[in-house]
Structure 1
């Protein structure tokens, strides 16, 4: 049976999810968020009705419950109902009152206690946070030996084991052995140029399938949890095509930056900025002015765009040439893009096929019929562009 990870896009890269009884290692570079991945998987499985536990040696149970609350998840209720429990490997070592179904008083107990915890959650999930601390307490060889025993027993119980591992300056041979000991490895990295510009994950190993080698940028929101992060989506098109309305329609929050230009052009211009939080995706959205005299702004905003929405007024075919010009000027020819045929509610609006013919657009560019002011077609446009970006 395949179990969902509940991490956006991850299941798509692993042929639908994780076979029950398999073990997964989230292997993170220092400084990269990693606990949220384990927490989100546990929360998702608990919401599915499964049982689970967290072994923690990095924080006390109250702190973890508080973290769950910040993500918008209610772990305390699940613990109170007996659906989830803690293996507390932290409190005794920092002088705090111990909590949990199992308490680690010394690390010679850890192997047997986790085996008992696995037995308590058949077909459920267990989170081991953090494997690095176990290595520090137990040493390399003992830790590897214990991991192998836990994984073997978890397969028998059909329990999913999730290891959180911060990849400090351990020997490469040790890291390779840890990765070999589990069924799947998710690598979490900092995306760097001169400075760190983001964080990403990719499936480095999945024994049950050939995983996608795509690197996905992610962002951890509180509340919200792990989201696929798209740095910039561009919204452009001719004047009066409906760009501002579209940005507001798809954004969790948005703002229009207005500036009165009295000197040469007595008109109001606007740049629209929005933030999207949709189906596990988080993105920044930039809408451009449509007039030709502001094409310099279009050139600036288009840099580093990951995808583009091109809005056209379905009732104004005389603007289609300008729309094609804007596609070229914002370099949208080289990135995934969706054309939105707005104002379909108005008499005389051209069909999507008529627009495709007049604009001479290839068949691989989706054209979505829409009435943006009523939000009709906006979700279809979002799904189409996100599918192009991530190959759905």
Structure 2
């Protein structure tokens, strides 16, 4: 039986999730967020009423409960109800009182204690955090032998074991042995490409399926957990099409620079900046001004954009040529894009099919009917762009 990981996009790459009884390693470069992946998987499984445990040698249980709270997850109640428990491998080593159902006084006990913990959670999930510190205590060979025994026993009990591993400066042979001991491996790494600096994950191994080899940028939010990170989405289109309203409508937070024009409409003369948190995705949104005198800004804003929304006024076909020009100026021809046919509630509004014909747009470009002030079509537009970027 496949169990979800509850990490955005990861289940798609893993063929639906992780089979019960299989092991999964999150292998992270130093400095990359990794504990959250294990914690989020545990949280999701506990919400399904599965049982679970955390073995921790990097923080005491109270600290981990506090971390869960920051993500918006209630671990304390699960512990109080005996649905989850800790194997405390840190407290006694810093002179603090031991906590949790089990505790480790010396690392010669660790193999037996974790086997007991696995036995306590049939068909559940166990988190081993952090495997790198286990190597420091047990040594290379004993760690590999211990991990193999845990994985064999976990398969017998249908327990999913999740390992967190910070890949310090270990010998490649040891790292390869650790990865070979696992049914699945997710590689977490830092990314520095041009001006994009972030973190990404990819599935390096999944014994139960052929994994996708895509690298996905991610961001960790508190509250929220792991989110797929889209570094820049552009929102452009002619003057008065509704770009600023769209940015504000999809954003959890946004900032605009506005100036009152010579008329009844406020006009954006610089740009709109927003942040979107939607269905496990976190994106930065940049809206452009529509007037030709600000076209120089288009070239600046378009750099590093990975997707674009083109907002048009459905009642103003005379502006469609300008919309096509802006698509070209901001290089949106080369990236996934969605056209938003705004003002569909007004008399004379052209249908998406009529707009496609007038603008000579291919069938591969979605055109979404919208009434942006009422947020009609806004989520449909977001869904359409996410499908273009990452598939269904």
TM-score range, shorter chain: over 0.9
Partner Cα separation in structure 2 for residue 66 and residue 299 of structure 1? 45
| Aligned twin of 1:18 | 18
Whole-angstrom CA distance in 2 between matches of 1:332 and 1:170:
44
CA distance in 2, matches of 1:382, 1:267: 24
How many positions carry a matched residue from both structures?
389
Q: CA deviation at 1:267?
A: 7.0
- Residue 232 of structure 1 is matched in structure 2 by 232
Q: Alpha-carbon deviation of 1:391?
A: 2.3
Map of 1:73 onto structure 2: 73
Q: Offset at 1:257?
A: 1.7
Gapped runs of 5+ residues in structure 1? none
The answer on whether the counterparts of 1:219 and 1:229 sit within 8 Å (CA) in structure 2 is yes
CA distance in 1, matches of 2:219, 2:151: 30
Deviation at 1:260, TM superposition (A): 7.0
Counterpart of 1:277 in structure 2 is 277
How far has the Cα of 1:174 moved from its partner?
0.6
2:248 is matched with 248
Aligned to 1:302: 302
Alpha-carbon distance change, 195 to 31 in structure 1, aligned in 2, over 3 angstroms = farther
Q: Is the 8 A contact 1:8 1:280 kept in 2?
A: yes
Superposed CA deviations along residues 93-151 of structure 1, whole A, max 9, x for unmatched, are 00011100001111111111101101111111000000001100001111001111100
Matched, 1:37 2:37: yes
Deviation at 1:192, TM superposition (A): 1.9
Q: Counterparts of 1:194 and 1:271 in 2: how far apart (Å)? A: 23
Counterpart residue number, 2:148: 148
Q: Which residue of 2 aligns with 1:344?
A: 344
Aligned-residue Cα RMSD (Å) equals 1.5
Q: In structure 1, how many angstroms separate the alpha carbons of the residues matched to 2:190 and 2:105?
A: 35
Alignment pair present for 1:92 and 2:92: yes
Say if 1:187 and 1:203, in contact at 8 Å, map to a contact too. Answer: yes
Q: Distance in 2 between matches of 1:82 and 1:69?
A: 18
Query: Matched residue of 1:111: which SS?
Result: helix
Residues 5 and 41 of structure 2 are in contact (CA less than 8 Å); yes or no, is this contact kept in structure 1? yes
Q: CA 1:268 to 1:223, structure 2 compared with 1: closer, same or farther past 3 Å? A: closer
SS in structure 1 of the partner of residue 21 of structure 2: coil
The 8 Å contact of residues 190 and 196 in structure 1, kept in 2 or not, is answered as no
Secondary structure in 1 aligned to 2:333? helix
